[in-house]
Structures are given as C-alpha cells and as structure tokens.
Amino acid sequence: MKTQLELARDGHISEEMRKVAHAEGIDVEILRQRIAKGTVVIVGGLRQNSQPVGIGDGLGSKVNASIGTSTEIADLGLELRKAAVALESGADTLMELSVGGDLDKIRRTIIEATPLPVGTVPLYQAFCEATERYGDPNKLTEELLFDVLERQCADGVAFMAVHCGINLYAIERLKRQGYRHGGLVSKGGATMVGWMLANERENPLYERFDRVVEILKKYDTVLSLGNGLRAGAIADSLDRAQIQELLINCELAEAAREMDCQVMVEGPGHVPLDEIETSIILEKKMSGGAPYYMLGPLVTDVGAGYDHITAAIGIAMSSRYGADLLCYITPSEHLGLPNEEDVRIGVKAAKVAAHAGDIVKLRGRVAERDLDMSRARRDLDWERQFSFALFGDDARAMRDSRSPGAEHNCTMCGKFCALANANRHFM
C-alpha cells in the first residue's frame, strides 16, 4: 500500500484527495501538489468508517479533541460518550490517550465507534505495559516499544504522536538552564526523560527513527512528531530545551518525508501572546512547511476552571498565523479528567476560535459566512441567522428560552432595537 505522499508524488489523485478537496473547496490538483511537497497531510480515510481530513497549507484550521481514561477513572462507556460528544460538537480529529484499563480494547472500541480519524500517543501504552510486566516503566524494552507502535497502527490509528525529538543533548540543555518554572508536563515526554536518565541511553525513537518511519509508513499512519518538552508555564516558552527538541523534530520531519511518510510537527504548550507567531514561523521555516499541530496553546497560567477560554485566545492567534491543527482544552484542564460537558464546551470554544483565525488566514473563503450572518442580523431574519451560526441549534435554543413572542424582536433591546429603528430609514 502506498502512502498519500507517495501517491501524490507519483502524480496520482486518490479518492481521499478528492474528498478533502471537495470539503475544502479547493482544486484537487493544487491539493495533490501540496501533499507531494509535504505541506499538507491527509489523516484517516483508510478505515471503512473513517472520514479523511486534510491538515496543512491553505486548508481550514482543524480542531482535535482528546479523550481517554486515567489510572483513577477507567470507564470505557464514559469515553465512548465523550467521543460521540466530540463528533456532535464539530471536532475534526480525536486523540485516544488512555492510560487506565484494557488499553487495546479501549482503543479498538473507540476507533470502531467513531468516523473521526483517531490519533494516539504510543509511549503511554508502552510505559503502562512495562510497568505491568516488570513493575518499573524504566524497564521498557526497545522491542516492546516498537511492538506497541505496530499494534496501534494495525488497529487503524490515523495519526500518532511519537516523541522522537527528545534526545540526550536536549536533556543536557534542560539541565544547564536550571530545569523549569513549570516542570515537565508531557506524560510521554517526562517518562521518556526518566527512562533515558535511568538507563543512561539514547531515546530509541530518535536512535531508531528509520524503524519508526518504516512502521508508520506501512499503514500510512501520519507521524506527528511529539512535543515532549513543551512548556507548561508561559515563563518557560521558547526556552533552550524546547527549541532544541523543535529543531530535532523539524530535521526528522524532513527525513520522514524523504522516506515517503506523511508527517507533521507538534508545538507548545503554554505560550505568551507575543511568542505565538514566533513559534509558528520557526516551525514552518525549519521543517520546510510541515503542518503544525499546536497543543492549545494556553496564553496564561492562571485560568484554571476557564482554560477553554485561555486556549481559545491562543487558538485564534495560532490559526491566524498559520497553525494547522489545534488541540482543544476543556474547563477541567489542570483540574481533573474531562466529562462529556467539558468536551462539548472545549470543542465549541476551539471551533469558534479556529474560525476567527481562518477569517484572516483564508480570507474570503471563510469570511463570506460572516458576511451572510451580518446581513441576516441586519434584516432580523432569525432563521437565516441560525443557519449561518457555527452552532445554530444552540443559538435557537437560547433565543427560544427567552423569546419575547414577537417574530422579529429579542429581549435584549425590545422596542429600542437599533437595527429595527435604523432599517426604517435605509431599507
């Protein structure tokens, strides 16, 4: 089986490319050229029930929703409900990040239950299985690690966050700068750092990168180069350890493309507003334009309970400056495992923010919808407003819950409606 990258380089337009081009409203030949160049990837589409999603240059910003069990709460039914809510709320992709329960069963059940392309972080399962087998995550063997990668790809995982860019040199940068204000916040990254220090060995995912690519290419699973040293505090943003990992990941992205593997690069984390554009410029320039998967970003550290808003601000700016896939954040971030309502709120906040960024990034292709909404509001045409709203059913329910009974009025201004009064003179 050829990857979408190989097909594109051969000049072949696949059915997945046609579907993505139609969904994005762009010429399929232009899409093929971008895939061949490595600035666009297609996730999903190989599973019978999966919808292909395009991520990258010139395409709409996509939103990922993350779900998964913890060691404290391992309820497959809850995760299935969260997956359904993510789909209903408009998520474009789903990451299954379980670390508690029967991990193979949970992953396979969720992949089967959703049409969304599903991503994973294989280090989670690898370290969980090492702990179960040997009583110590630091006893993880290289063969077990690569077995987990192959097992997950064979299950139909569409994209995989693999922490290849953490190497001994990056850890040395972390030590020399005196650690961090916010510590290490990536579960996979922190555990891999611990493994490397305990075993005094290089990261096998970096050392054997060709094997990583060989496995993912076999299944056309998109390689998402994980951001294991991402900042967990805005004061740590763009520090030397993070930049070292980004540099390595960008070099590895180039190597993966040379081996015909679809690839994107992951980014931080907690980032102040004035460093979002810088982060994206660095990634795009050093990686040759590989799609950028931003985790958040969160633009302040003090938004606990409302971090879906903190992230929405970062997502809007990230989308505007060229990020391609944005990972939602829920209100329970930093506080506890998300429930269904957290997922719903997180996805919808991220979708609004991504759309705001796309108005600038994609110009007229997206702004037309906003223009239609503006005209419907001017005309006090509520039905058309609901049709153009990102979440029309929510808007309708809110209006119905406090409707004045009059066809055109609302309870905000009533008889003092500015539009109604002005329209009499101009329409």
Contact 298, 307 (CB under 8 A): yes
- In tens, the pLDDT along 328-367 reads 999 999 999 999 999 999 999 999 999 999 999 998 778 8
Burial class (CB in 10 A: 0-12, 13-18, 19+), 297: buried
Helix (H) or strand (E) holding 107: helix 103-113
**Does the residue 43 lie in any domain?**
no
The DSSP call for residue 158 is S
**117: Cα within 13 Å, side-chain hemisphere:** 26
Same domain for 306 and 284: yes
- Residue 367: the pLDDT is 84
**Does the residue 129 lie in any domain?**
yes
Token pair belonging to 173: 């940068």
Average pLDDT over residues 112-133: 97
- pLDDT band (50, 70, 90) for residue 1: confident
Q: Identify residue 55 by its one-letter amino acid code.
A: I
Contact 299, 234 (CB under 8 A): yes
pTM score of the predicted model: 0.96
- In tens, the pLDDT along 72-82 reads 999 999 999 99
Of 12-21, 30-39, 167-176, 363-372, the least confident: 363-372
Provide the residue range defining the domain that includes 337. 59-362
**Does the residue 399 lie in any domain?**
yes
Q: Is residue 160 over pLDDT 70?
A: yes
- Residue 48: the pLDDT is 64
Q: Is residue 135 over pLDDT 70?
A: yes
**Does the residue 9 lie in any domain?**
no
Residue at a domain's end among 362, 387, 412: 362
End-to-end CA distance of the chain, in Å?
60
Token pair belonging to 342: 């957290």
Q: Is residue 408 over pLDDT 80?
A: no
d(CA 347, CA 407): 32
Contact 347, 308 (CB under 8 A): no
Same domain for 259 and 134: yes
d(CA 298, CA 269): 6
79: left (phi over 0), alpha (psi -120 to 50) or beta: alpha
Q: Is residue 45 over pLDDT 90?
A: no
d(CA 34, CA 64): 22
Residue at a domain's end among 323, 347, 362: 362
Same domain for 283 and 192: yes
Same domain for 402 and 350: no
The DSSP call for residue 139 is G
Residue at a domain's end among 362, 391, 411: 362
**Does the residue 297 lie in any domain?**
yes
Q: Identify residue 248 by its one-letter amino acid code.
A: I
* Mean of the per-residue pLDDT values of the chain: 95
d(CA 10, CA 32): 10
Token pair belonging to 41: 């990837």
Q: Is residue 128 over pLDDT 80?
A: yes
How many angstroms from the chain centroid is the CA of residue 283? 16
**Does the residue 22 lie in any domain?**
no
The DSSP call for residue 178 is T
Structural domain count of the chain: 2
Same domain for 328 and 380: no
Of 51-60, 206-215, 277-286, 411-420, the least confident: 411-420
- In tens, the pLDDT along 212-237 reads 999 999 999 999 999 999 999 999 99
Closest of 59, 42, 22 to residue 158, by C-alpha: 42
Number of Cβ within 10 Å of residue 418's Cβ equals 8
**Does the residue 38 lie in any domain?**
no
d(CA 131, CA 133): 6
Number of Cβ within 10 Å of residue 33's Cβ equals 16
d(CA 43, CA 54): 7
Domain CATH number, residue 125 = 3.20.20.540
- Residue 412: the pLDDT is 85
d(CA 199, CA 141): 11
**Does the residue 33 lie in any domain?**
no
- pLDDT band (50, 70, 90) for residue 35: very high
**193: Cα within 13 Å, side-chain hemisphere:** 23
Average pLDDT over residues 153-162: 97
Token pair belonging to 294: 């931003």
Query: What does the DSSP assignment read for 195-253?
Result: HHHHHT---HHHHTHHHHHHHHHHHTPEEEE--TT--SSGGGTT-HHHHHHHHHHHHHH
